[in-house]
Amino acid sequence: MKILVTGGAGFIASHIAERLIKDKHEITILDNLKTGRKENIPNGCRFIEMDITDNAIDDVFREGRIDAVFHYAAQIDVRFSVYDPFGDMLINIGGSLRLLESCKKHNVDRFIFASSGGAVYGEQNVFPADESHPTNPVSPYGTTKLTVEKYMLFYHNQYGINTTALRFANVYGPRQNPFGEAGVVAIFCKRMLKGEQPYINGDGLQTRDYVYIDDVVKANILALELEGNHAINIGTGVETDVVTIFDMIKNLTGADIDRLHREQAPGEQMRSVIDSALAKKIINWTPEYDFKHGLELTVEYFRDN
């Protein structure tokens, strides 16, 4: 297949592109390199430096004769979405709509989207949350993810595009960006290995469901075969709080650093953990990596790089 991977110079999508190339697909990566890194782009693919909001997106589809899209380019900082919801909307909704319109125009068969299993549900009333849980995002970022899912349903019903939203838990692993405000595992790894002080937001008892990158890649490959319209959780069903992560990474790195706390971040949920039984049922996906093993592999990567 001829596949377009947006955000392919970033953390998750570069791993997906790498696997797709190994599976003998013809890959085009589109990335504006604002947060993605050229060194993440795997060999054997075509690279286009472009923003998903660019009018020239349609040319990429026309020239590349695209069969499928993995849409991972996004504004991913929850804090930015709180401070600038309009800017967040232009990228996450506007850019996604440009892609869906091009899919319609050029008869693209399927569209796989990186949604968020934490952000679309908001503060949960059931733990873990399955796909029937009410969707009440507490941030503009979560609202944009849910909105794109609704547009995908429209494009499936109206134009027959096979659309799948993968609602990820907190993805971690090699190549995650350790320099932003998101991605606590990468941030803690990098700073502790450099002997710098990482900070815990609030009391550090906020929990997340952490899923390792290799498990996420596997879910994407399986989703490529799906027909219809779907929203599927991809997580482990296990909660881990930030204080525990701090202590685990401190132990793995041998860092001589004490816990320091700072103000709670705006728009941040206190608990998030998702049920992935549906993924097991319809794509035969279950996570293979527990958090301890995934964390060991991640620390090893940051130590070597």
**Closest among 158, 123, 161, 126 to 142, alpha carbons compared:** 123
Same domain, 158 and 181: no
pLDDT at 71: 98
pLDDT at 181: 60
Active site residue 155: no
Nearest-angstrom CA–CA distance, 184 and 142: 18
- Asked whether residue 47 is domain-assigned, the answer is yes
Same domain, 158 and 264: no
pLDDT at 114: 98
Contact assessment for residue 204 and residue 243, using Cβ atoms and an 8 Å cutoff: yes
For the chain, the straight-line distance linking the first and the last C-alpha, in angstroms and rounded, comes to: 33
- Asked whether residue 283 is domain-assigned, the answer is no
Q: How does pLDDT run along the chain (305 residues), one tens digit per residue?
A: 999 999 999 999 999 999 999 999 999 999 999 999 999 999 999 999 999 999 999 999 999 999 999 999 999 988 899 999 999 999 999 999 999 999 999 999 999 999 999 899 999 999 999 999 999 999 999 999 999 999 999 999 999 999 999 999 999 999 999 876 669 999 999 999 999 999 999 999 999 999 999 999 999 999 999 999 999 999 999 999 999 999 999 999 999 999 999 998 877 789 999 999 999 999 999 999 999 999 999 999 999 99
CA 264: distance to chain centroid? Answer: 23
Same domain, 76 and 200: no
In Å, what is the CA distance from 92 to each residue of 115, 182, 193?
11, 17, 33
Structure-token match 């971690």, residue found: 172
**304: enclosing H helix or E strand:** helix 291-304
Backbone angles phi and psi of 148, in degrees to 5: -60, -40
Same domain, 259 and 183: yes
For 93, which DSSP code?
A: I
Q: Which of 72, 141, 155, 289 is catalytic?
A: 141
Same domain, 134 and 200: no
Same domain, 82 and 225: yes
- Asked whether residue 278 is domain-assigned, the answer is no
Domain residues for the domain of 186 are: 173-208+238-273+289-304
| Upstream peptide bond of 128 is cis (omega within 30 degrees of 0) | yes
pLDDT at 231: 98
Contact assessment for residue 200 and residue 242, using Cβ atoms and an 8 Å cutoff: yes
Domain count, the chain: 2
